[in-house]
Amino acid sequence: MSLACGEQADEPISDVPPVEHVASDGAESLIPRDVLFGNPEKMGPQLSPDASMIAYIASVDSILNLWVMNADGSEPHQITFDTNRGVTNYFWAENGEHILYMQDEAGEENDHVYRLTVETGEVLDLTPFEDVKAYVSETSEDQPNTVIIEMNQNNPMFFDVYSCDLQTGELTLLQENPGMTEEGLMILGYMTDEDMNIRGMATINPEDGTIAFLLKDAGSDEWTEFVSFSALDSVSPERFSNDGRGIYYSSNLESNTTALFFQDLDTGEVTLIAQDSLADVGGVSFDPFTGEPRAVSFHYLRRRVEILDPSIQEDYDFLSGYNPGDFAAVSRDNADSTWIVVYFTPDNPATYFLFDRQTHDMTFLFTAIPALEDYQLSEREPVLIPASDGWELPSYITIPHDALDAPLPMILLVHGGPWARDYYGYDPFAQLMADRGFAVLQVNFRASAGFGKEHLNAGNKEWGALMQDDLTDAVHWAIDQGIADPERIVIMGGSYGGYATLAGVTFTPDLYCAGVDFFGPSNLVTFRETVPAYWRPMDAMMDIRVGDLTDDLEMLEDRSPLNHVENITVPMFVAQGENDPRVVQAESDQMVEALRANGNDVYYVLYSNEGHGFAMEQNRLDFAGRVEEFLFNHVPGVECQMFQEIPGSTAEIR
């Protein structure tokens, strides 16, 4: 099917007649979807260890592949020739001869680790096993031809640790994960020190979710408990010190937000290094020579960096004044004299520069989506929204740059996770909808991560309850502020955001005029029963965060939108990846079946070669176009561009 927005199709996409309006005269001036949702032109640059070359990702025939060029930008050439899902997760090996990348086949998330020889283009699958998930967990400048790979070949629930010789591809088992300790604790995984010795182990009590970290000396078999904490707290090891006699870690055991600490393992002395009262520890930058932390980032409404090492203060002062966006150093050479710096702004996902630390020369590399410079994008404003009980919700509102004063149609765009968050910066859906005339509201509701454990834990067992109330309260705030037209509010989201969409139209049926759910659980019981095997060790944590399948069964059933489809009265759009291992296809199938049995209006699209998200450009463009057309047909007063079926998309209308 292909039609201009507002034009009547021979077979309407829903049983409810479309809104009687037509595309505006200015529709041709709107930002094209392929600019917002197409593959970036270039992205993800990484310096080789000796700074002589830069690898990066670029799109070729709609597939993302790896390229390399000299550091001065000369002789760019393609080095991978993938024709399937593309290459997006890669890094240089410390030997400078190889690049390693991780990739699955069709969204099932069984990633293999591949070794690419840069000079010859030869690709070797280092983990050539079926139905196995593998990843690189450690590299070392001191052992440039060795990497640590973890994979679940022996048991899909648990990951064993291997050393891999990059020259031969040989794997050597370093630590088999038996799954359980003698005390009946599940082993979540292991941690190596800077010499690639296994020194740390994480366990979880399957009964109550208590987590413990154990440490041992290199070569020893004797584990000693380092720390134990409840599922309501967080301790996260960052790395061992260079001499192996200390450990850096973040913890909120004695505070609301996580702080960065160092503990001397010989004396037990603990030193507080950095903390923010509003946000958890984000990224930590360590000195490549001393191994000591030199900068810590925190992100409340905007990103803040705390400098710990005066030797980089001048660098950060210069970089912060160079561009108004939030920035980060994303790559460096082994000499630490050259950095690749990226700036993030609401009007472009990434702008990259090569930074010479000695001269402070900034050499422009590229912008991820240069075509965006031809259009005016909308500003993204951080706001604090009070919930009805006084809880504070860090949020972002995007208003169309040419909006009138009258209340606007609005999208409530709900993030996934839910133990994740929305950030300041570029968001393609927020920009698409703002360009079409919508205000877009994004809320870090209770259970969102990064704002301290009180905010996180306030969402425990609150799916469809307080977490949903926060979203409802935020919508009422937007109405009260004169931003949102109460008759034209859409709820939309993926993953947990998809669940929140279904819950929103179910439990607050009069608040929204339409819903867009992609990859969302419809039944909390069947969702918990069908998660991937390697999630199973975290079942006790899920019992606490979502609800226990035995003790909380009645609550989970009551909070499941599938069981209340009779409440839904608005048009629905549902999208699903056929190979999704996290929220399986049955979650969407059963919801659509129930909606149609109830006489509801629902438009269902299945993508056969996708998992939990969109990796394929054609499918991403197809989805964005179908969503835009759906909203145009059901929300008066918004603009739209013609939707045409995308060649190569695997969309199947169900």
What 3-state class would DSSP assign to 305? strand
Which of 612, 622, 634, 649 does the annotation list as catalytic? 612
Query: In this predicted structure, what is the pLDDT of residue 622?
Result: 97
Per-residue pLDDT tens digits for 175-209: 999 999 999 999 999 999 999 999 999 999 999 99
Closest of 433, 629, 497, 565 to residue 14, by C-alpha: 629
- pLDDT, residue 207, reads 92
Tell me the average pLDDT across 606-623: 95
Q: Model-level pTM?
A: 0.93
CA atoms within 13 A on the CB side of 98: 24
pLDDT per residue as tens digits for the range 20-79: 333 343 456 899 999 999 999 999 999 999 999 999 999 999 999 999 999 999 999 999
E strand or H helix at 199, and its extent?
A: strand 198-204
Q: What pLDDT was estimated at residue 241? A: 97
Neighbouring CB atoms inside 10 A of 152's CB total: 20
> Looking at the domain that runs over 25-37+379-653, which CATH code has it been given?
3.40.50.1820
Does 612 qualify as catalytic in the annotation? Answer: yes
Residue-wise pLDDT tens digits, 421-441 = 999 999 999 999 999 999 999
Question: Percentage of residues in the chain with pLDDT exceeding 90?
Answer: 91
- 8 A C-beta contact, residue 306 and residue 476: no
CA pair distance 420, 397, nearest whole angstrom? 18
432 neighbors 492 (Cβ within 8 angstroms): no
Name which of 380, 388, 392 is nearest 422 in CA terms.
Answer: 380
Find the mean pLDDT for residues 537-546.
95
Going along 18-157, which residue ranges are E strands?
42-47, 53-60, 63-70, 77-78, 89-92, 98-103, 112-117, 123-125, 134-139, 146-155
d(CA 461, CA 591): 22
Query: Which residue type does 109 have?
Result: E
d(CA 93, CA 355): 21
Residue 450 reports pLDDT greater than 70: yes
| pLDDT tens digits for range 398-413 | 999 988 778 999 999 9
Mean pLDDT of all residues in the chain?
A: 93
Out of 580, 588, 622, 649, the active site residue is 580
Average pLDDT of the segment spanning 151-164: 96
Given 395, 495, 522, 560, the catalytic residue: 495
| Percentage of the chain exceeding pLDDT 70 | 96
The H-or-E segment that residue 104 falls in is none
For residues 29 and 641, give the distance between their C-alpha atoms in angstroms, rounded to a whole number.
9
Q: Give the span between the Cα atoms of 32 and 372, in whole angstroms.
A: 10
The pLDDT, as a whole number, for residue 27 is 56
Question: Given this model, what pLDDT does residue 1 score?
Answer: 25
Give residue for tokens 């979650």. 587
Q: What is the pLDDT of residue 402?
A: 86
Q: Which amino acid makes up residue 456?
A: L
Q: Is 285 a catalytic residue?
A: no
pLDDT of residue 28: 61
